[in-house]
């Protein structure tokens, strides 16, 4: 048996699709480890050699990559930050200047891409490492398929239907002035640490951040108008996982906005499936909506500076409120074919799931099989130790928060409270497998509070 490590950074964005990847490949000769960054770091320090599937080879990830590789692991990457949604090839090349480096790509084993666009972009950037770059698509595409999302998100979709009819707005904005200031500082710091980034590029990045905040304010104004023009509709806003939900909530405290719901409880797919129409800006949610066959429209400020407006081109788009009103009142679904073609020209969506294609390539990576007995001992012994330690620390933290009235940190977009709300719960993992009717065929073992070892449960087989 071989081992695959799957660290999760942003729960809402990654967890369900990665669990589907495991479910789709549970019959392969692999053991899967999935967990937050702390759990993954523990696992790679204890279990031994495996294949490490990460979300990036960021310019600043060099020490992380070296740590993983020095332990004898293979390092593979499938970008989760939306590189494939960059506006054009020029924007993508600029994106790769901070999302990768020559040193990093020389160290890693494989780079997997969402489709033709980023595949060509990577290969043009790193011509000497073309063989490392493979087009697979993303497991995120798999859960856009109706036969899959209607199973996995059945309960969530049913729950959200109680709000029907509703317009869904997935937010991808900088949602406060204080956050904007921090982003500008971060951009300047990134430029200082990376000599490939030009001053003109920095200026454009900063302007894009400022326009993101302007877009947030524009959407707040848009929603207030919609509440008046569609008093019988609900308007559900789902803040991005790195946004502070309170930035949105405090904008709609008055009773006149009682039909506005700020909610990020569920996976993006559930909201799209249950909605009447998706109103978005620069969000992969727009692409997903069109693939799922939902009515969608892109609403943006004029002359908005952005690096990733591909999604806006995948649906009707406007900056005019009257056009939006007309669109919401009519049926535009019959005009979706041209947009779906544009999406499929850029994203690799085939009859075979991306999860299967990804695994076909992973199996070709040479890595030493684990020693089953030793691995079994480590899982049970260290898993129990970390589980007890994590739960003790969890309850200790809760007591401190109650005594000293400490609030969770939602001020920083990098905070754990925003990226991993509630951690990774066992029942969340089990629910996905149960929805796919695999819960009785899969063995799940806790490794600490937020890490899990998962494999096919075969009688009399040692892991």
Decide which of 189 and 77 is more confident.
Answer: 77
Say what the pLDDT of residue 404 is: 76
185, with CB counted inside 10 A (0-12, 13-18, 19+), is exposed
Say what the pLDDT of residue 402 is: 80
In angstroms, the CA 176 to CA 359 distance is: 41
Judged against a pLDDT cut of 60, whether residue 455 lies above it is answered with yes
Judged against a pLDDT cut of 70, whether residue 462 lies above it is answered with no
Helix runs in 250-371, H state only: 268-274, 284-291, 321-329, 337-346, 354-362
In angstroms, the CA 198 to CA 420 distance is: 34
Exposure string of 280-310, with b = 16+ CB inside 10 Å and e = fewer, is: bbbbbbbbbbbbbebbbbbbbeeebbbbbbb
Kindly report, residue by residue over 361-396, the tens digit of the pLDDT. 999 999 999 998 999 999 999 999 999 999 898 889
Residue 285: name the closest of 247, 238, 319, 344 by CA. 238
SS3 call for 322:
helix
Judged against a pLDDT cut of 70, whether residue 235 lies above it is answered with yes
Judged against a pLDDT cut of 80, whether residue 32 lies above it is answered with yes
Say what the pLDDT of residue 231 is: 95
Instruction: Decide if 31 contacts 454 (C-beta within 8 A).
Output: yes
Judged against a pLDDT cut of 90, whether residue 289 lies above it is answered with yes
Angle between helix axes 116-125 and 89-99 (nearest 10 degrees) is: 60
Question: What's the token pair of residue 140?
Answer: 């995120």
User: Averaged over 329-344, what is the pLDDT?
Assistant: 81
Residue 18: name the closest of 68, 78, 86 by CA. 78
Contacts of residue 262, Cβ cutoff 8 Å, sequence gap at least 6:
236, 237, 239, 245, 248, 249, 252
Decide which of 421 and 287 is more confident.
Answer: 287
Q: How does strand 74-78 pair with strand 110-113?
A: parallel
Helix (H) / strand (E) element for 169: namely strand 166-170
Instruction: Decide if 196 contacts 235 (C-beta within 8 A).
Output: no
The matching CATH number, chosen from 3.40.390.30, 3.40.50.300, 3.30.200.20, 3.40.50.12580, for 146-346 is: 3.40.50.12580
Contacts of residue 388, Cβ cutoff 8 Å, sequence gap at least 6:
none
Decide which of 200 and 402 is more confident.
Answer: 200
Helix (H) / strand (E) element for 442: namely strand 442-446
Say what the pLDDT of residue 14 is: 95
Distant-in-sequence contacts of 99-102, Cβ < 8 A, 24+ apart: 99/56, 99/57, 99/58, 99/59, 100/56, 100/57, 100/58, 100/59, 100/125, 100/126, 101/57, 101/59, 101/62, 102/126
Instruction: Decide if 299 contacts 309 (C-beta within 8 A).
Output: no
Average pLDDT, the chain: 92
Instruction: Decide if 347 contacts 84 (C-beta within 8 A).
Output: yes
Reported pTM: 0.93
Residue 292: name the closest of 275, 316, 312, 317 by CA. 275
User: Averaged over 341-361, what is the pLDDT?
Assistant: 95
In angstroms, the CA 270 to CA 280 distance is: 16
Residue 33: beta bridge partners?
5, 453
Say what the pLDDT of residue 460 is: 43
Helix runs in 315-371, H state only: 321-329, 337-346, 354-362
User: Averaged over 2-17, what is the pLDDT?
Assistant: 95
Q: How does strand 30-35 pair with strand 451-456?
A: antiparallel
276, with CB counted inside 10 A (0-12, 13-18, 19+), is middle
Q: Parse the chain into domains and list their residue ranges.
A: 2-141+351-456, 146-346
Neighbours of 56 (CB within 10 A): 20
- pLDDT classification of 449: cutoffs 50, 70, 90: very high
In the DSSP assignment, the letter for residue 401 is H
Say what the pLDDT of residue 411 is: 53
Angle between helix axes 426-435 and 11-24 (nearest 10 degrees) is: 50
Say what the pLDDT of residue 412 is: 54
Helix (H) / strand (E) element for 229: namely helix 199-229
Share of the chain above pLDDT 70, in %: 96
In angstroms, the CA 246 to CA 179 distance is: 13
Say what the pLDDT of residue 459 is: 56
């Amino acid at each position: 048996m071989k081992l695959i490590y799957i660290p999760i950074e942003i729960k809402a964005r990654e967890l369900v699709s990665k669990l589907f990847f495991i479910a789709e490949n549970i019959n392969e000769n692999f053991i899967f480890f999935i967990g937050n960054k702390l759990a993954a770091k523990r696992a790679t320090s204890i279990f031994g050699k495996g294949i490490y599937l990460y979300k990036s080879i960021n310019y600043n990830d060099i020490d992380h990559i070296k740590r993983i590789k020095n332990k004898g692991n293979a390092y593979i990457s499938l970008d989760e930050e939306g590189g494939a949604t960059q506006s054009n090839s020029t924007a993508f090349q600029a994106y790769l200047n901070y999302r990768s480096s020559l040193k990093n790509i020389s160290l890693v084993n494989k780079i997997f891409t969402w489709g033709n666009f980023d595949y060509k972009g990577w290969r043009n950037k790193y011509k000497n490492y073309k063989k490392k770059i493979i087009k697979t698509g993303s497991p995120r595409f798999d859960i856009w398929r109706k036969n899959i999302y209607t199973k996995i998100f059945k309960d969530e979709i049913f729950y959200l239907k109680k709000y029907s009819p509703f317009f869904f707005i997935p937010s991808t904005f900088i949602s406060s002035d204080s956050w904007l200031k921090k982003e500008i500082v971060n951009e300047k710091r990134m430029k200082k640490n990376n000599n490939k980034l030009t001053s003109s590029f920095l200026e454009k990045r900063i302007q894009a951040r400022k326009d993101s905040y302007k877009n947030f304010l524009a959407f707040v104004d848009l929603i207030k108008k919609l509440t008046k023009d569609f008093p019988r509709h609900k308007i559900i806003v789902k803040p991005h996982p790195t946004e502070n939900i309170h930035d949105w909530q405090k904008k709609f405290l008055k009773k006149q906005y009682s039909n506005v719901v700020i909610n990020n409880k569920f996976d993006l797919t559930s909201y799209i499936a249950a909605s009447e129409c998706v109103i978005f800006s620069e969000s992969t949610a727009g692409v997903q909506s069109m693939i799922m066959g939902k009515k969608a429209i892109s609403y943006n400020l004029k002359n908005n500076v952005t690096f990733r407006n591909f999604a806006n081109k995948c649906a009707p788009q406007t900056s005019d409120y009257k056009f939006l009103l007309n669109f919401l009142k009519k049926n535009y679904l019959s005009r979706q074919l041209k947009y779906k073609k544009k999406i499929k020209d850029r994203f690799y969506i085939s009859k075979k799931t991306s999860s299967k294609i990804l695994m076909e390539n992973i199996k070709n990576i040479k890595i030493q099989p684990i020693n089953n007995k030793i691995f079994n001992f480590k899982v049970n012994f260290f898993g129990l130790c970390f589980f007890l330690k994590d739960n003790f620390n969890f309850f200790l933290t809760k007591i401190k928060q109650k005594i000293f009235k400490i609030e969770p940190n939602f001020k920083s977009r990098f905070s754990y409270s925003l990226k991993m709300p509630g951690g990774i719960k066992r029942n969340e993992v089990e629910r996905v497998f149960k929805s796919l009717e695999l819960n009785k065929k899969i063995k799940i073992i806790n490794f600490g509070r937020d890490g899990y070892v998962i494999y096919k449960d075969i009688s009399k087989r040692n892991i």
